[in-house]
């Protein structure tokens, strides 16, 4: 059997998760039906019913009210709507509100719009420090707010880091911000289905979720927005979603999204336990097999499906490609810009040096992951690391 004939060992669920069969069925059932959810005739009303039933299902699963679920094209749009919408709304109320508090480990869908606001709208970004495990401390948030509460626009803090899996104290941060009537946004894209997510209990004002990270379709997500939170739209048109977001609604995708979220939340406890057992076996197996391998992130307060490790003396890109040649699919802790691999901003914010940041891999597990997948990694990782180290030494010799 050639490598192309083998089923890939897919351990990159944090990037995207295979669609659930039930979500595929729900989506395809609606694909052949015509109807714009904004139309008043029968076909339009049928499409609207699909959308609203999906909205109700997602809201119930996430501890929100249906009117608080604003459909978007995905997590990136939802993050942009949250940051830019909060910024302009808060600034309109009080021109002193120019400080945005955020951590340096946020996803680029949060970092980049924040940097854009700084460059184009004179926002003042204040970076919340993280410790060596990738955690923001609530006391640091309180100090940042109390230094000048009237100047703070909002706080944004992800629920779970997409690279190292560390969980953040979002509820505690939201409670601190609420003392000063400062809104809080959280990107919960990685958290839904892996840990409990309850919008109302978190006390945040806006929360980002995405379908394709929980077994739903690509191209759809939602920003859950508290009913009293004001947002300035960034897309203008028909105002289909609470006059906050315009665009014709994708009824089939909302149906698939709802099924995926409902399934992920319903099975979260059992699935989290199963994934944590597999994850722990993977981590302990790698550390006992590969000298110098180190776990990144919080060893306890982390996503059950995340195992992020660094390997001394070799590049993560080399490890990824060598594993890929064995049909094992993972991701690195680096980002590629213009063809040049750069160390992960998350790992650098956690205090890693360039070498350790470059020599990292993320294994992320999900609903298709099995014990056989873990065994496949453990059977290969030792020889793969040795080969990557040898390649690195050869490159050093040629460049010296």
* pLDDT tens per residue across all 400 residues of the chain: 445 567 899 999 999 999 999 999 999 999 999 999 999 999 999 999 999 999 999 999 999 999 999 999 999 999 999 999 999 999 999 999 999 999 999 999 999 999 999 999 999 999 999 999 999 999 999 999 999 999 999 999 999 999 999 999 999 999 999 999 999 999 999 999 999 999 999 999 999 999 999 999 999 999 999 999 999 999 999 999 999 999 999 999 999 999 999 999 999 999 999 999 999 999 999 999 999 999 999 999 999 999 999 999 999 999 999 999 999 999 996 555 445 568 899 999 999 999 999 999 999 999 999 999 999 999 999 999 999 998 764 554 444 4
Helix or strand holding residue 358 (H, E): helix 354-358
For the whole model, what pTM was predicted? 0.95
Q: Is 336 a catalytic residue?
A: yes
CATH topology of domain 21-266: 3.40.640
CA distance 157 to 113: 14
pLDDT for the residue 247 = 96
Tokens of 361: 């891999």
CA distance 256 to 211: 8
pLDDT for the residue 6 = 72
Cα–Cα nearest to 124, from 158, 89, 148: 148
What are the DSSP E strand ranges found in the chain?
A: 9-10, 69-72, 99-103, 124-128, 152-156, 184-187, 206-210, 221-225, 294-295, 306-310, 328-329, 331-332, 334-337, 340-343, 360-364
Backbone angles phi, psi at 355, to 5 degrees: -65, -45
Kindly give, in sequence order, each residue whose CB lies less than 8 Å from that of residue 136, ignoring residues fewer than 6 positions away.
103, 128, 129, 130, 157, 168, 169, 173
Q: Just give the CATH number of 3-18+268-399.
A: 3.90.1150.10
Return the SS3 of 95.
coil
pLDDT for the residue 189 = 98
Question: Which conformational region is residue 84 in: left (phi greater than 0), alpha (psi within -120 to 50 degrees), or beta?
Answer: alpha
- Domain edges within the chain: 3-18+268-399, 21-266
CA distance 145 to 99: 9
Active-site residue, selected from the candidate residues 238, 336, 351, 394: 336
């Amino acid at each position: 059997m050639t490598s192309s004939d083998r089923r890939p060992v897919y351990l990159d669920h944090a990037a995207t998760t295979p669609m659930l069969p039930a979500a595929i069925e729900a989506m395809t059932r609606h694909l052949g039906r015509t109807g714009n959810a904004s139309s008043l005739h029968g076909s339009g009303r049928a499409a609207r019913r699909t959308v609203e039933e999906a909205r109700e299902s997602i809201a119930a699963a996430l501890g929100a009210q249906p009117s608080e679920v604003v459909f978007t094209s995905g997590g990136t749009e939802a993050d942009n709507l949250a940051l830019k919408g909060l910024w302009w709304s808060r600034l309109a109320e009080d021109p002193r509100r120019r400080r945005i508090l955020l951590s340096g480990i946020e996803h680029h869908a949060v970092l980049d719009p924040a940097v854009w606001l700084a460059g184009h709208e004179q926002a003042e970004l204040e970076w919340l420090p993280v410790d060596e495990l990738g955690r923001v401390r609530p006391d640091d948030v309180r100090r940042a707010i109390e230094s000048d509460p009237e100047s703070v626009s909002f706080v944004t803090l992800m629920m779970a880091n997409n690279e190292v899996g560390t969980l953040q104290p979002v509820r505690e941060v939201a409670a601190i911000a609420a003392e000063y009537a400062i809104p809080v946004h959280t990107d919960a894209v990685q958290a839904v289905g892996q840990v409990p997510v309850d919008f109302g209990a978190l006390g945040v004002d806006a929360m980002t979720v995405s379908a394709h990270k929980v077994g739903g379709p690509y191209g759809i997500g939602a920003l859950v927005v508290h009913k009293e939170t004001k947002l300035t739209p960034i897309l203008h048109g028909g105002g289909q979603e609470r006059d906050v977001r315009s665009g014709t609604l994708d009824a089939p995708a909302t149906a698939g999204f709802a099924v995926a979220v409902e399934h992920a939340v319903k099975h979260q406890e059992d699935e989290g336990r199963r994934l944590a057992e597999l994850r722990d076996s993977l981590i302990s197996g790698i550390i006992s097999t590969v000298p110098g391998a180190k776990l990144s992130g919080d060893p306890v307060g982390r996503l059950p499906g995340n195992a992020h490790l660094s390997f001394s003396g070799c590049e993560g890109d080399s490890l990824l490609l060598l594993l890929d040649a064995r049909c094992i699919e993972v991701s690195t802790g680096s980002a590629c810009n213009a063809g040049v691999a750069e160390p992960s901003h998350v790992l650098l914010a956690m205090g890693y040096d360039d070498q350790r940041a470059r020599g990292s891999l993320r294994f992320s597990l999900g609903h298709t992951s099995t014990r056989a997948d873990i065994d496949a990694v453990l059977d290969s990782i030792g020889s793969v690391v040795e080969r990557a180290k040898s390649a690195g030494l050869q490159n050093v010799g040629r460049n010296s």
